[in-house]
Structure formats: structure tokens, C-alpha cells
Amino acid sequence: MQLRDLVSKGARRLLRLAVKSVELPYLAARSSGPVRARLDAQAQALSAGEPLGLSPEGRRVLEALRRDGIATTSIRELYPAFDTREFVDYARELDRRGVVGRKKSFLKFLWPEDKLQLPLESPFIKLALSGPSIDSVRSYLGCAPRLRFVSLNTTLPVPADSPAVASQRWHRDPGLGRILKIFVYASDVDERAGPFTYVRGSHGGGRYESLFPATRFGREGSYPAPGAVEAAVDPRDIFSATGTAGSVIFCDTLGLHRGGYATHQERIMFTAHFERPSGFDERRYRLPEKLPALTPLARFAIGE
């Protein structure tokens, strides 16, 4: 190895140490209660000023979320103003032009993999910003939420003996306190299509809250070793969210989850990621120049 390579390697190591020495105190302060309360103050005031309109189905979803960290429903049950067929047709049309992911080759991206312009005309985005969604999310998070990320993907089947990779493995997402994702199936999903799978009670306050915790004040997630989760939890607490097209899943993905290990058939799924303003995540989409009419809570969610 040449001298300049040794110097370069040493310089990189010193830089990493310097960053870490500053980053850890920052993360400790950033994740503290007083700082988070200050960052969430506007969101709490906005939510307090807007009436809550949870339907009986919405209240059932919220109760299950608080108890288990996950709740399932459907477009028909929670969103009666929407037509499931519209979602299926929209997704299947885009699926014809989808692009296989660069980092996750088991996914076909129906919207751009990189930062996209938020497709506000899409039925999926309309659902994510609708009253039933926003009211369920803010009830669980405790304030008006921010929408950080959306995706519409087709999971491609892999050979049954393929090792699980990336999100196919058990993991916890990075985050603080609580986050909430909404998943919508645009195709029928059985065990062969890589259903979303969750350990009930692994969310904050659940019986498995401290099992394989995230690291660095929640800034990093957690990926337990293969087989470790199954050895540590009651099998009855592992929930596989199979369902027909139009199925909807609300889930706190700070809890242990996995999905997308399809072996025989494709899975088309929409994802919307919500969190409190004090969360670590950043918005990963662009807004169009002209916005349609939106409620105050929906405008706040998209960061307008």
C-alpha cells in the first residue's frame, strides 16, 4: 500500500471519529422530550383546532393499533367514498411500464425510484390525504402528521431458496417514538406473494418493545440475525397480512416487520409513511407547482 493511501485511509478514519463525536450528542439532544415537544408544537396546535371524524371502523383501527401496533381494514370498510376498482386499474396500468429497482431487484417501481413529484391526482395519494387516513394517523401519533415518503411497487417473485435480503428480513425502521405507515394492496396477496408480516406487540409500549431495539437514539433501525425473531417470540404473535385487492394495513413500523418475499405471484402495494414533525426522516418527494384544494391537515402533511 502506498503512503498516500495510508494517509487517505487515516484521514477518513479521523473524519468518521470527528463526525461521530459531534453526532451522538446531537442525536441525544434531538431525541429528548423538550426538543421534540418544541418541534411538534405547531402540529399539536393544528390538530387540536381541527375536529376529529373517526368512524366506528376508524375507532376499531385505532384501538388495534394501540394494542398491537398493526390494524387491518379495507377500502370498502374505511373509505366508502372510494372505489377499489379504480386503485387496481391505476396500478395495473402503471405496472406495464414499471422499472426494476437498482438497489432492490425484487421490486418493480411504478413511480420513480428517486425523488418524484407527488402524484396528487393518484387515487392512492387522495386516499392517503383523506379524512379517514389523516384522522387515524394523527390520533395514533398525537398530532398533525407529516407525510415523508410514498411508493407504489410490484414485488417480483424470487426462487423459493433465495436468501431474504433488505426489507424481506425482520427489521425495525429508524424513527422516534411512533411512526405510522399505511399499506394498500392493489392485488390479491396470499402467502406466496410476500405478504406484509408483523410481530404484534413489538411497537412502543408492547410486550416486545425492547426486543432487538433500534440503535443510535433511533437513528438506525435494527436487523436481527436470521431465526432470532422466531426463537424469541410466541408464534401466535407473528401476523401475516394476507388479503384481497383493496386491503389496507396501518402499522407502526418501529415494530418488527418484514415482507416482499414472494415466491409464486406478484404483489402490488402502495406505501405512505407518516411521522411527527420531530421525527428524523425528511420528505422524499417534490410538490407540483399548482396544488388542488386540500384540507389544512392535508396541506400540513405534505409540507406545503
Residue 51: per-residue pLDDT: 92
- Per residue in 139-164, pLDDT (tens digit) is 999 999 999 999 999 999 999 889 99
All domains of the chain in start order, with CATH: 31-301 (2.60.120.620)
Residue owning grid cell 372510494? 82
- Mean pLDDT over 5-11 rounds to 60
Q: Calculate what percentage of the chain has a pLDDT beyond 70.
A: 93
- Per residue in 241-252, pLDDT (tens digit) is 999 999 999 999
d(CA 203, CA 216): 17
- Mean pLDDT over 91-117 rounds to 91
- Please indicate, yes or no, whether the overall pTM of this predicted structure exceeds 0.75: yes
pLDDT higher than 70, residue 10: no
d(CA 24, CA 145): 26
- Per residue in 32-78, pLDDT (tens digit) is 889 899 999 999 999 999 999 999 999 999 999 999 999 999 999 99
Residue 146: per-residue pLDDT: 98
pLDDT higher than 90, residue 89: yes
Q: What are the DSSP calls for 142-210, one per residue? A: SS--EEEEEEEEEEPP--TTPPP-GGGS-BB---SS-EEEEEEESS-B-TTB--EEEETT-STTSTTTT
Least confident of 18-22, 91-95, 158-162, 192-196: 18-22
Q: Are 211 and 256 a contacting pair, CB within 8 Å?
A: yes
Containing 268, the helix (H) or strand (E) segment is strand 267-275
